[in-house]
Amino acid sequence: MGNVPSAVKHCLSYQQLLREHLWTGDSVTGALDPAQETYQLLGLPEYVKIVEVGPRDGLQNEKVIVPTDIKIEFINQLSQTGLSVIEVTSFVSSRWVPQVSKRLYGMGCYEISLGDTTGVGTPGSMKRMLENVMKEIPPSALAVHCHDTYGQALANILMALQMGINVVDSAVSGLGGCPYAKGASGNVATEDLLYMLNGLGLNTGVDLYKVMEAGDFICKAVNKTTNSKVAQTSFSA
């Protein structure tokens, strides 16, 4: 099967996959390799900042009340993964969602996160939206927040990266939904996002395996199965 990763040929444990294909677990450093050549050819940013929204946006849709000590342990575990931004709470009313990007930017807002809350977006609609927004706001001040209701989240994120965005929201284990958007599924899983970014040779500074462990912890705490394809495959091996 040539150079096809052995994970395609066999169901491997994550540890074995990590040994055979280091790019799946760690940010790429050092000499230029095929993955780095890929991001250069595709015009992708060298570094992507992941904003972990699991503790706040991810848990807000759970039917069970998560004890404070569990939340704290969850956040502590995430803080050991290399994630530089972890959203733990919010005082924003769900009734008032900012709509006017240009006005906010003019008021001094340093970053505007564009959310596909219902997950209906496609790479085509993502491209059109960003083209319009970027007429007023530079890509350096934009972030994207994608839900995976129709399985389009990673494709939409890749399109955003190709257009110059380098800040992406995600939630460990694909936690989330939206209390005021009926039918919306969870956020794109941080594990799956990391797997894609690592495969493209993009630097995140985040340890995928530690993220998977944090996801396993919170899923057991709320008695649910992870929505991450990467975690499902790795922990079932």
Who's near 34: CB < 8 A, 6+ residues apart? 201
Out of 11, 109, 178, 219, the active site residue is 178
Hey, is 95 helix, strand or coil? Answer: coil
* Integer Cα distance of 152 and 165 in angstroms: 17
Residues 153, 116: Cα–Cα separation, whole Å: 9
Q: Give the CA angle between residues 49, 54, 58 to the nearest 5°.
A: 135
Helix (H) or strand (E) holding 155: helix 153-162
Q: Is 226 within 8 Å of 215 (Cβ atoms)?
A: yes
Distance CA 196, CA 158 (A): 9
C-alpha to C-alpha distance for 29 and 70, rounded to whole angstroms: 35
- 11 as an active site residue: the answer is no
Residue numbers annotated as active site: 178
